[in-house]
């Protein structure tokens, strides 16, 4: 099977469409960053507390707000996380309520508020919340009837069953008869209750770390762009490097713009994805540049525009295939990889599409534009063909 063979498209003739397309998306992103959603930075960068709570039944965010309000946690935003069937919400406490000396006070308060006010004090009276109990607590509960060693083994079995088979939430205490003795089940039934919610994940970031991470993420992005520039300068010529870095910057801008437009949070892993894209979308650009240089040498008569067009067309098949295949894997990550990786894979999905587009529509035309600009100023028109000859 073979696709994209012998295509002959005048890519440079369409440069105004490309420019328009790039401008629309960049400007939409920039406008959204400036006036609409801003840059939606995650808790990694802003600091604050985030507690991910998964419920057995569909959670009622109004009641959760009330429960938290009663415990003195006012205006804590509640957001649902993942598809509604997951029954998972994020309770956030802003930076102002995350004090550096008492980092996890917020988490403890949220759990207590939910246990007493959301589930109801009646159920909680003096009993162990089996959905949130630690192994130590379960062991303590079972020890009087079962003895220390057996209790410990049973606690490990119960906790493992709850966490690995049931995603942290038991449907009923009776289910546990599959992993422990009837006597233990009876003891648990008597001494514990199921609150119907469990803490899946806690992120608490103090203000100092937040600003530190912000600085690091910024520096890392700058360093990798600079690294690319230097490498392309070394392998080709400075102008190739500049064109490639402009293209990659364009990709980064549009990817972050997409986060702003869809109001998705930018976390540390998203920055990691963006940095990976910087390297990856450079690949396509290099392949096209390589061909341009090769063709410049063998076809000295043709104008630069014709050479660039020819080079893009020759590498088209390869560019579409490799990006398409990487896109396939990233798409499976986006679809099946779970909530935690959702934003990370979103960045990759957007970035790979844009990165492929930009190596054709931004980087290569820039070389031609640079040459035209030099010609207009009366300088030599030929683009340097590079330092080393390739066979």
307-366 residues near another protein, rule: CB under 8 A: 314, 317-318, 321-322, 325-333, 335-338, 340-341, 344-345, 348
CB-wise, 14 or 135, nearer to another protein?
135
Alpha carbons within 13 angstroms on the beta-carbon side of residue 295 total 20
Among positions 2, 57, 84, 121, the unique one binding another protein when judged by CB under 8 A: 2
Burial 348-364 (b: 16+ CB within 10 A, else e): bbbbbbbbbbbbbbbbb
Q: How far is the CB of 61 from another protein (least distance, A)?
A: 21
State yes or no: residue 176 binds another protein (CB under 8 A). no
CB-wise, 66 or 283, nearer to another protein?
283
How many residues touch another protein (CB under 8 A)? Answer: 82
CB-wise, 208 or 375, nearer to another protein?
208
Q: How far is the CB of 158 from another protein (least distance, A)?
A: 12
Residue 220 CB burial class (10 angstroms; 0-12, 13-18, ≥19): middle
DSSP string computed for 329-345:
HHHHHHHHS-GGGHHHH
Report the site for another protein in 61-80 (rule: CB under 8 A).
none
Question: If DSSP codes are grouped into helix, strand and coil, which group holds residue 54?
Answer: strand
Task: Taking the CA atoms of 339, 344, 347 and 353 in sequence, report the sign of the dihedral they define.
Answer: negative
Q: Residue 90 has which token pair? A: 């994020």
What are the Cα distances from residue 274, in Å, to 185, 252, 347?
Answer: 49, 7, 7
Question: If DSSP codes are grouped into helix, strand and coil, which group holds residue 310?
Answer: helix
DSSP category for residue 266: B
Q: How far is the CB of 62 from another protein (least distance, A)?
A: 25
Residue 156: which of 171, 178, 134 has the closest Cα? 134
Q: How far is the CB of 291 from another protein (least distance, A)?
A: 9
CB-wise, 30 or 341, nearer to another protein?
341
Question: If DSSP codes are grouped into helix, strand and coil, which group holds residue 42?
Answer: coil
CB-wise, 172 or 380, nearer to another protein?
172
Among positions 10, 100, 174, 372, the unique one binding another protein when judged by CB under 8 A: 100
CB-wise, 261 or 354, nearer to another protein?
354
Report the site for another protein in 274-313 (rule: CB under 8 A).
275-276, 278-280, 282-283, 286-287, 290
Q: How far is the CB of 167 from another protein (least distance, A)?
A: 5
Contact 256, 274 (CB under 8 A): yes
Among positions 166, 214, 310, 374, the unique one binding another protein when judged by CB under 8 A: 166
**Residue span 112-151 as binding mask against another protein, x where in contact by CB under 8 A, dash where not:** ----------------------xxx---------------
Among positions 17, 21, 36, 223, the unique one binding another protein when judged by CB under 8 A: 223
What are the Cα distances from residue 310, in Å, to 60, 296, 362, 388?
Answer: 60, 10, 16, 21
Q: How far is the CB of 235 from another protein (least distance, A)?
A: 6
């Amino acid at each position: 099977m073979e696709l994209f063979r012998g295509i002959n498209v005048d890519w440079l003739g369409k440069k105004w469409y490309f420019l328009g397309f790039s401008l629309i998306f960049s400007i939409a992103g920039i406008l959204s960053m400036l006036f609409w959603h801003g840059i939606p930075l995650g808790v990694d960068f802003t600091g604050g507390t985030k507690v991910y709570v998964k419920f057995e039944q569909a959670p009622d965010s109004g009641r959760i707000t009330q429960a938290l309000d009663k415990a003195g946690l006012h205006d804590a935003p509640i957001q649902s996380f993942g598809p509604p069937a997951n029954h998972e919400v994020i309770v956030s406490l802003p930076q102002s309520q995350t004090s550096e000396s008492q980092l996890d006070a917020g988490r403890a308060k949220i759990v207590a508020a939910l246990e007493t006010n959301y589930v109801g004090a009646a159920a909680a009276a003096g009993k162990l919340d089996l959905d949130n109990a630690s192994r130590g607590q379960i062991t303590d509960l079972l020890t009087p009837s079962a003895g220390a060693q057996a209790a410990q083994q049973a606690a490990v079995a119960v906790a493992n069953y709850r966490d690995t088979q049931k995603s942290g939430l038991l449907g009923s205490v009776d289910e546990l008869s599959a992993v422990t003795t009837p006597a233990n089940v009876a003891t648990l039934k008597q001494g514990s209750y199921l609150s119907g919610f469990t803490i899946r994940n806690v992120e608490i970031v103090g203000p100092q770390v937040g600003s530190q991470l912000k600085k690091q993420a910024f520096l890392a992005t700058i360093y990798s762009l600079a690294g690319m520039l230097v490498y392309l300068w070394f392998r080709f010529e400075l102008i190739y490097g500049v064109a490639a870095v402009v293209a990659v910057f364009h990709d980064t801008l549009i990817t972050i713009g997409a986060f702003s437009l869809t109001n998705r949070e930018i976390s540390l892993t998203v920055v990691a994805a963006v940095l990976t894209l910087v390297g990856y979308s450079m690949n396509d650009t290099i392949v096209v540049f390589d061909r341009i240089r090769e063709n410049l040498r063998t076809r000295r008569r043709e104008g630069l525009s014709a050479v660039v067009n020819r080079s893009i067309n020759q590498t088209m098949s390869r560019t579409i295939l490799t990006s398409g295949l990487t896109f396939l894997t990233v798409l499976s990550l986006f679809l099946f990889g779970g909530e935690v990786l959702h934003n990370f894979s979103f960045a990759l999905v957007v970035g790979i599409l844009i990165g492929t587009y930009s190596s054709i529509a931004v980087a290569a035309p820039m070389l031609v534009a640079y040459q035209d600009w030099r010609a207009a100023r009366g300088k030599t028109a030929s683009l340097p063909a590079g330092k080393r000859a390739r066979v």
